[in-house]
Amino acid sequence: MNRFVTISNPNACAVFILLLTMASCDLIRIKSENGKDRERQALARVNTAYLYADELKGILAEKTSKEDSAARVNAYVNSWIRKQLLIEEALKTISIDQAEVERKVLDYRYSLISYEFLNFYIRKHLNDSIDNAAIDAYYKEHLDNFILKQNIIRGTYIKVPKDAPRTQRIKELMFSTKDKEVAELKSYCLSFSAAYHLADSSWIEFDRLTANSPLAEIPNKIQFLRSYNYYETSDPNYLYFLKIDAYKITDNVSPLEFVKRDIKNIILNKRKVELAKKLEDEVYENGSKNRDFEIFGN
């Protein structure tokens, strides 16, 4: 006799889910809490442990295809079997403190429930609007936390194939401030470049910008940044154009614009922590006021 039953046909798993409410000669009868018989569809068994179809509720997304549903259910069933076999082998092999296991299971359950409730409360009460004044204030109060760990620049970078048309005009367009020529450069990059970054107010890491180019091999990048505001180079396949409007080197304070998003996330996370603490305090105070709990002496 097989030690356990598994479902090898993925489509059969999907059928089991679809037929949950239908009567079948294979249904196993159990007693519900109110004493009445109810029927459950068994999907697998490991010795005396059964996995029922209704226990798989929630593992499938609403718009999952039939094939994906079957594959996911089959994977879950086989994973359950492996875990049950491992548990049974463990119980036969080593001494398990059942009370300690139950305590850890309860702690984990409480943690999951608390986590879901905290997320619900935070989503409901979180003010995610952060004005520039709050960002600027946080930045000035924590300058030591925003020391650059890489060189950053503002500027324009363009990589084009050597056979691209009108490459001799690229430098002229890069230095132009006329709206028409700025638009022409953008259109050119969209049509012919292999990679590009056009000048705007944003800062970008120099190494990230110049990755996979001869510029990445420059031995002294700090000296390079201090020496050039425009640079051209090439390799066997591409031409590279770099115009540097501004730069900041490592170990200096980061510009506010470069860390603005990080500061927003920091402020939001601080608000989430404060809301979590507020919820815990409110629940505790209400429980104390309503005498919902007692602490007994030893």
**What are the extents of the domains in the chain?**
4-96, 97-144+260-289, 148-248
Q: How high is the pLDDT of residue 28?
A: 36
Average pLDDT of the chain?
Answer: 86
Q: Which contiguous run of DSSP H or E holds residue 73?
A: helix 66-93
Give the DSSP letter of residue 241: E
| CA dihedral for 20, 21, 26, 32, sign (positive or negative) | positive
User: What backbone torsions phi and psi does residue 292 show, to the nearest 5 degrees?
Assistant: -80, -10
E strands, 149-218, in order: 152-161, 195-197, 204-205
**If DSSP states are collapsed to H, E and C, what string results for 214-235?**
HHHHCCCHHHHHHHCCEEEEEC
Q: Which of 106, 139, 86, 156 is nearest to 258 (CA)?
A: 139
Identify which of 239, 243, 230 has the alpha carbon closest to the alpha carbon of residue 159. Answer: 239
If the chain, 298 residues long, is cut into consecutive pieces of 10 residues, what is the mean pLDDT of each piece?
A: 40 38 34 51 91 84 77 90 92 87 92 93 94 96 96 97 96 95 96 94 93 94 96 96 96 95 96 95 92 82
Distance, in Å, from the CA atom of 162 to the CA atom of 237, rounded to the nearest integer, reads: 6
Contact 263, 133 (CB under 8 A): no
Residue 175 and residue 93: Cα distance in Å, rounded? 75
Separation of alpha carbons 106 and 181, rounded Å:
67
Q: State residue 246's pLDDT score.
A: 95
- What's the pLDDT tens digit per position in 278-287? 999 999 999 9
What pLDDT score does 298 carry? 59
Q: Would you state the structure tokens that stand for residue 206, as one six-digit string?
A: 């120099």
pLDDT of residue 38: 57
Which helix H or strand E contains 191, and what residues bound it? helix 179-192
pLDDT at 19: 32
Q: Are 87 and 96 in contact (CB under 8 A)?
A: no
User: How would you write 94-107 as a 3-class SS string?
Assistant: CCCCHHHHHHHHHH
